[in-house]
A = this chain, B = another copy of it.
Amino acid sequence: MGKDKKRVGILTAGGDCPGINAAIRGVGKTAIVKYGMEIVGISNGFSGLVDMDVNLMEEKALSGIITVGGTILGTSRLKPFKRSAGEEDADMPKIIKENYEKLGLDAIVCIGGNGTQKTANLLSKEGLNVVGIPKTIDNDVWGTDVTFGFDSAVGIATDAIDRLHTTANSHKRVMVIELMGHHTGWISLYSGIAAGGDVILLPELEYDLDHVAECLMARNRVGKPYSIVVVAEGIEHPKKKSAASYIGKKIQKMTGLETRETILGYIQRGGSPSAQDRILATRYGAHAADLIHRGEFGTMVSIKNDTITSVPLEEVGGKLRLVNPDHYLIQQGRSMGVCFGT
């Protein structure tokens, strides 16, 4: 590829989520229209930088993608700084640096979750001009108030719990629904409150099954015909079972109430992004282009108090943003009678 403009690479790594394409579009349109830069799309995360699977993207390639879920660039979970057994010969960071030079890149945008931002930081320390954009449905990236993908996932989960209400009510059952969140309970907390969950269990909060059972029986005693229990997949439970299955079986045994379980699974991260996620992803993308223009590398775009800003990548890597046990939704939920496990 010949070159007479600043050239910016974009890659997407880690798990996919709604809004990635809106972020790609935000970076690309701002870089092209406002700054006259060139955009190079890198396929399948960091793999594409290793394998040189890249394409020059014109503005036209960015049209119509804001509504599309997943990522048009593809993704992978390759971690170039993590050497697997039997791969000792490949010095991937070195290859990536060489390819970055060969491609004539002036900067690279890494769209991903915690793991991706960690890699982005290491590449930055290797001398590449890196800007990170946080994305995950789990909303657990340290250094920003919110990630895109989260609002869409909360919407899907809320809609699913709404559906459980009708069937739970018809059958007078306890319905247990397990939502995504290995380490954090953001999705469970927000959709649990939004959909009127009666019990909400999060990885950040200890829970006491006797207390949960008592809450459900108390509802039963005052004539409430059914209950909804929302659990994050990462709550403490025996690893042979799913969280939903563990909690559901226990509840049925302890209360005698008919109980059913559902694991919402991968549909939480698919489909067209919500309006708010499209807007957030666009803001992130546009700001990443601004940072590149200003030469502020080694940073990750971030939202603080609804103001766009950035944080140093080295502060971000490896940290998780957990739900604070004093979160206002937990406090307000308790005030309204929601059981959080204790």
Interface residues of A (CB under 8 A from B): 12, 15-16, 18, 20, 26, 29-30, 33-34, 44, 60, 63-64, 66-71, 74-76, 145, 151, 154-160, 162-167, 169-172, 175, 190-191, 193-196, 223-225, 260-267, 269-272, 274-276, 278-279, 282-283, 286, 289, 305-306, 308, 328-329, 332, 335-337
- The answer on a CB contact under 8 Å between B335 and A34 is yes
A170 contacts which chain B residues (CB < 8 A)? 12, 16, 20, 70-71, 74-75
Q: Is A328 within 8 A of B162, CB to CB?
A: no
Cβ-closest chain B residue relative to A18: B166
For the complex, give the distance between the alpha carbons of A308 and B328 in Å. 9
Q: Which residues of B contact A191 (CB under 8 A)?
A: 275
Knowing A155-B274, A305-B305, the reply to whether A163 touches B267 (Cβ < 8 A) is: yes
Per the bound structure, the CA–CA distance linking A236 and B193 in Å amounts to: 39
Q: How far is the CB of A122 from chain B (nearest CB, A)?
A: 23
Contact A70 B335 (CB under 8 A): no
Q: Are A33 and B336 in contact (CB under 8 A)?
A: yes
Contact of A70 (CB < 8 Å), options: B70, B167, B223, B267: B167
A-B contact pairs, 16 of them (CB 8 A): A16-B166, A20-B170, A29-B335, A29-B336, A34-B335, A69-B163, A75-B170, A162-B272, A164-B266, A166-B270, A191-B275, A193-B282, A195-B275, A276-B276, A283-B329, A283-B332
Min CB distance A259 to B, Å, is 12
Bound complex: CA of A306 vs CA of B144, how far in Å? 14
Question: Which residues of the other chain, B, contact A171 by a CB distance below 8 angstroms?
Answer: 15-16, 75-76
A269–B169 Cα distance when bound, in Å, is 12
A265 touches B266 (CB 8 A): no
Q: Which residues of B contact A275 (CB under 8 A)?
A: 151, 154-155, 157-158, 190-191, 194-195
CA distance A262 to B269 in the complex (A): 12
Identify which of B29, B158, B190, B267 contacts A337 (C-beta below 8 A). Answer: B29
Which of A66, A167, A170, A172: most chain B Cβ within 10 A? Answer: A170
Say how far A180's CB is from chain B's closest CB, in angstroms. Answer: 11
A207 CB to nearest B CB, Å: 20
Contacting residue for A306 out of B162, B169, B194, B305, CB 8 A: B305
List, in ascending order, chain B residues with CB within 8 A of A270's CB: 162-167
Q: How far is the CB of A65 from chain B (nearest CB, A)?
A: 9
Contact (Cβ within 8 A) B165 A67: yes
A40 to chain B, nearest CB (A): 19
B269 and A335 contact, CB distance less than 8 A:
no
CB nearest neighbor in B for A289 = B335
Give A275 to B167 CA distance when docked, in angstroms: 19
Measured in the bound complex, the distance between the Cα atoms of B162 and A18 in whole Å is: 13
Q: Please tell me if the beta carbons of B279 and A33 are within 8 angstroms of each other in the complex.
A: no
Q: Which listed residue, B223, B279, B336, touches A194 by the CB 8 Å rule?
A: B279
